[in-house]
Structures are given as structure tokens and as C-alpha cells.
Structure 1
Amino acid sequence: MTTVLQIKTSLSDTGNANRLVDAFITQWRARHPEDRILTRNLGRNPIPHLNETAITGFFTPAERRTPEQRAAVELSDELIAELQAADVLVLGVPMYNFGIPSTLKAWIDHVARAGITFKYTENGPVGLVQDKQVFVLAARGGIYSGTPQDTQTAYLRNVLGFLGMTDVSFIYAEGLALGELAKDRAETAALGQISRLIDSRTITTAGKPVDV
């Protein structure tokens, strides 16, 4: 059984990126009804941004933490446990002011923990969150893929790779604010790409045949 962790970050439940995640999970369930689906809706239930309490708590021995530090570390530990338990990570990412939602950045900051999800060595940093497949569902009002305005793709590849997740596929739905025809075309193309990627994973995972 595969565990899928879906992260929703649209401000609205009906936001474009959330709808892409819903479509992805619907198609996934149709092919893998036995799989376990975990959900984090950061738009509906945002997690706090890092602050001094959380940071000092990370580097304070457990027995010396204040109640506030313990609470902050427990939240980070919970988010990391969800990520570590997942075989597949699905990120729904709208573009807000040319960047990722601040709620997603907060999630990243909570799961990027030295000594737990990455470590520094004499040969450089090593990601410890490995053997996962990541799908990034990127929804944009304009068309930015392949341009300098697309700050999301490089950042997410870098930070996910830093944590050890290098098998990352991006699915773009762009031009969603450029009229109904453009929106329909973009969504249809994205749904088709989702279907092909899921079908491809159904046949092979990390180069190894799987039961289907």
C-alpha cells in the first residue's frame, strides 16, 4: 500500500490549485483504491510561521524546553512524521505575487530540520527525505513557465532536492485569468498530464515494476 500526502495551499477551498489536487487524488484513487491518503489543507488550517520560540526549541534539549517550545517542536515533528510516512507527495501551488504561498513556506520551514530531514557533512549537505515521488500542481493566472518570472519552479526543485526529494514532476495550469477559453484549455491539458503521469507510475515506480 502506498501512502500519498497531499498539501493544499490555496486560500480558498475552491482555488485553482486545490481543484488540481482534488482531480489528481480522484484519478489516483480510481487506479489505487487501496492506498492511504493524508491531507494537509494549509489554506483552511494554516500553520504558524517560524518564530524565535520554535527555532530555539529545535536546538534545546527536550528536557529543558519550555511548554511553548515543546508545542512548537511537537508541531514540527508531526509535519515531519507525515512527510516521512509518505511515498508520494502532492503539492498544490498557486502563484501569489510571483512566489509560493507563505503557508507553504511555513510548512517547508517546519519540515527542514537539521539532523532530521537533512544533515551537513564534510562533503556538503545530504538530504534525508529520500525515495519519494513528488508531483507539483502549479496554478497560475498568467503564463510564466520557462520565464524569469517563474520563481516557484527553481525554488521548489532546490528545496525539495536539498531535503533528498529529486524525483519531482511539475504540472502547470497557466493562463487561468486570460479568459474562459484559455482557462479551459489549460485545465484540460493539466488534467491530461496528470492522467499520463499517474498511469506511468502505475506501471513502474523508481524503475521497478509494481503490481497493478
Structure 2
Amino acid sequence: MATLLHIDSSARTGGSDEHRFGSHSRRLTRRFINTWSAGRPSDNVIYRDVGANSPAPVTGKWIHAAFTRQEDREPWMHEVLAESDRLVDELLSADIIVAGVPMYNFGAPAQFKAYIDNVVRVGRTFGFDRSRPGAPYWPMVPAGKTLVLLSSRGDFGYGPGERLEAQNHVERGVKTPFAYIGVTDVRSIAVEFDEFADERLKASIAQAERQVDELVAELCAGLGADRAA
């Protein structure tokens, strides 16, 4: 049985298939999870809506607590890190992370950046030893996890080799910290043309939904059949 961590970070509520001003990224993540669950109903799905309930941003107290050894932490430090611990536990338990991350001003939403800052944790998701030969940092997240990054963009041409690739800081801004902690298998799908709201947007949504279905089929095939299906 596999565990999926479903994360939404759009400030919009609902999917764009539910109402006119809904979120395309929420639409894609829900399609991924629903399609997956239809084929593998016994798999576990953990849901985290950081768009509606953003993790607290990192503070000076958080940093002090995180960089204090577990055995030396005072009670207030455990309280400060409690939310981060829950988020890290969810991440570590997941085989597949399905993250809806729309592009806001060329990068990820602030809510998702707060999520990243809470799960990139010394001693939990990455290690640090200043006396270690070579690189003093190393990833601690077990290998084998897949990150599915489902995004949406107002303009078009942000893909590899396209006209706005250099301005796409969503994929780079998410892939880099996840690779740092050990999640290197990343699959990306995005809806474009949102601000155009014409036939090009409809075509982009249809293409993204086909790609989601194909990706679900590929990843499920890699896990084998669900005995409970």
C-alpha cells in the first residue's frame, strides 16, 4: 500500500472545473488523486491545504530551536517546532507528494515557501556536520519518493527551451530544496494561458489533464496492482 501526500497552495478556493474563478492547480491535484484512488482504493491519502491554512513562517525562535540538539531543547522549543514536526512526519511517510503550486509573480506562493521552510529541517530532512570531509550537508529523506508538481501560469512559454524559461522560478524554486533533502524524482505538469481565458487556455487544460492521467498510469504501473481493487 502506498501513501500519497496531497498539498494545495493556491489562494483560490475550489477547482476551475467547479466555478469560473477556481484554481487550475487544485483542479489538477484533485484529478490526480481521484484517478489514482479509482485504481488503487486502498492507498492512503494525506491532505494538506497550505493555501487556506499557511504554515507559520520561520522566526528567530524557530531557528534557535531547530539548531539546538534534540536532547538539549527546552519545552518552548518543542512547542515552536510542533507544526514543523507534523509537516515533516507527513512528508517522510509519503511515497508520492502531489503538490499544486501555481505561479505567483514568477515563483511559488508565499504559503508554499513557508511549507518548504518548515520541512527543510536540520537533523530531520538534512544533516549538517562542519567537520565532515567534503560537503558538510547531506540529504536525510529516504530515497524512492516522487514529487508531482502541478502548476498553472497566466502567460505561456515557461517550459524548457521556451521564451520565458528563465523567468520560471516555480520549478527551480521547488526542485532545488526538495533535491537538497533527497527528493530528486520530480514530474512537472502545468496549465498555461490563464490570463488569456480563450481557446488556448481550454486546450492547455485539456493537455494537462491528459498528462496527469498518463502520469498516474505510469506511476501506478511502477507500483503494481492494488490487491484491494
Normalising by structure 2, we get a TM-score of: 0.85
Does 2:77 align with 1:65? no
Question: After the TM superposition, which residues 26-175 of structure 1 pair with which residues of structure 2 at under 5 Å, given as runs?
Answer: 26-61=34-69, 64-67=73-76, 69-120=77-128, 121-124=132-135, 125-129=137-141, 130-143=143-156, 144-146=158-160, 147-175=165-193
Return the offset for 1:61.
Answer: 4.7
Determine helix, strand or coil for the equivalent of 2:115. helix
Q: Does 1:3 align with 2:15?
A: no
Per residue, is there more strand in 1 or in 2? 1
Cα shift readout 1:19-51 (whole Å, capped 9, x = no counterpart): 111111111111111111001101111111101
Give the Cα–Cα distance (whole angstroms) in 1 for the partners of residues 194 and 114 of structure 2.
26
Query: What amino acid is the match of 1:122?
Result: P
Verify the 8 A CA contact 1:17 1:93 in the aligned structure 2.
Answer: yes
Offset at residue 80 of structure 1 (A) = 0.4
Q: How far off is 1:60 after superposition?
A: 3.1
RMSD: 1.5
1:12 — aligned with what? 12
Q: How many aligned positions are there? A: 207
Q: In structure 2, what residue type is equivalent to 1:211?
A: A
> Could you tell me how far apart the structure 2 residues matched to 1:31 and 1:176 are?
30
Q: What's the CA shift for 1:174?
A: 1.0
* Separation of aligned partners in 2, 1:202 and 1:60: 41
With normalisation by structure 1, the TM-score equals 0.92
State the secondary structure of the residue aligned to 1:162. Answer: helix
Q: Is the 8 A contact 1:176 1:186 kept in 2?
A: no
Q: Structure 1, unaligned stretches of length 5 or more?
A: none
What SS does structure 1 have at the residue aligned with 2:35?
Answer: helix
CA offset at residue 123 of structure 1?
Answer: 3.1
- Segment of structure 1 superposing worse, 11-20 or 135-144: 11-20
Q: Is the 8 A contact 2:108 2:173 kept in 1?
A: no
